[in-house]
Amino acid sequence: MTDWPRYGDEYAIFPRTMWHAKRGGHDGGKGSSGQNGVDPSQVPLQDWFKGTDLQWFGEIGVGTPPQKFNIVFDTGSNTLEFPSVACGAPCAKQRQFDPSKSSTFVDGGQEQTLVFLTGGTTQPVIGNDTALTIRSATDTVSIGGLSVKDTPVFLIINQTATFADNPYDGIQGLSSDAVGFMGGLIAQGLPSLFSLYLTPDKVGQANLLLGGIDHSKFKGDLTYASLPSPAFGEWVLLSSNLKVNGNSLKVANNSRYMIFDSGTSNMILPQADAEAVYAQISPDIKPNPAVAGTYGIACSKIPKLRAEITFTFTSQSGRPFDMTIPSSELSVGPFAGNPSLCQTLINADHFTLLGGSFLKHYYTVWDIAGQRIGFAKNGL
């Protein structure tokens, strides 16, 4: 999920206060320790599949003793939110945190509304229909056996209906700044990186590795690309070219900054770019007026279409390298109420973003200290 505007000429003002921690060192190896002996820790992730792989989420504990929640680990945001008992009916289907049952809870007392630009499904966000009302606090947070005291958290005290049926409870932001829980771990000596192995539902075994890299999940070397400076907390890279089935996109400017967001299901491009991509795949892909910002095609036509979408980036060594979304990702499943019309993976909006449709084909390393992202094909 993304809660700030696109990187580019207009820079985002974060909608929430960010607590910065001192950056620690980083280590590229699985099982290595930080300066104070904090070992990497693996967090198993579940996959929410509904037409496509929508979200990957894992368990965390908050408070003393820990109250358990399922949380999306989201590189498109920067803090931790989960439901409070104060939310009541809007959060009835999620687990709710009870502050009175935690001996380490401290109420921050500040309330605000957080509006997201992308949500937990493939449907575009319309206006303020994906929003949380949150209250600041601090408490002990535990993830994968690692704990950080006095972690800044946000209690959800109200939420829009778009969150009501999600199988997870909240969101843990993992921005490119060392903030919140991740910042606390780095201050303790954990290597300042994390890795994501996001897999299709049929494969399973997805995981988040805090502080390390699992070389058993990919073959060959990782290719790293540097974030722009400053990155403003975003995980964003400059793409110099976009190709469809090997042919460069026919637009005025084929260079664009791409946000990498593990909390968004599919892919987002400006309308002109989205339609230029679709024009090179099939003239039968059309906007769906029933759901603004989406496109669709008869499901029966999907298997016959070649739809490889390739982005070119520049490695730290200065060499261009390509990464591809395969044709199998073209459909994200039928539209609700129209089982013969399949939604295609690119939504149109005013920013550019690569989500789960891309990330589940690569093992990714998110290096906070190095301000870079590493990629390797995961072979899935």
Distance between CA 352 and CA 273 in Å, rounded? 10
Q: How far apart are CA 281 and CA 250, in angstroms?
A: 13
Ramachandran category for residue 3: left, alpha or beta (phi over 0 → left; psi -120 to 50 → alpha): alpha
Token pair 């290597």: residue:
191
Nearest to 287 by CA among 302, 272, 267: 272
CA distances 163 to 6, 33, 114, 170, Å, are: 23, 37, 13, 9
Annotation says 98 is catalytic? no
Task: Confirm if 73 and 153 have CB atoms less than 8 A apart.
Answer: no
Which residues, listed in sequence order, are joined to residue 59 by a DSSP beta bridge? 70
CA distance linking residue 270 with residue 349, whole number of Å: 5
Does residue 200 have a cis bond before it (omega within 30 degrees)? no
Listed residue (147, 131, 144) closest to 73, CA to CA: 144
Residue 147 CB neighbours (<10 A): 17
> Which pair of structure tokens corresponds to residue 101?
């049952």
- Pair type for strands 170-173 and 67-74: parallel
Catalytic residue flag (residue 74): yes
Question: Which of the residues 27, 74, 177, 367 is marked catalytic?
Answer: 74
Name the helix (H) or strand (E) containing 182: helix 180-188
3-state SS, residue 100:
helix
Backbone angles phi and psi of 87, in degrees to 5:
-70, -40
Say if residues 80 and 140 touch (Cβ distance below 8 Å). no
**Considering 47, 261, 273, 349, which one is annotated as catalytic?**
261
Written as one letter, the residue type at 304 is K
Please return the burial class of 128, using the count of CB atoms within 10 Å of its CB with bins 0-12, 13-18 and 19+. exposed
Catalytically active residues are: 74, 261
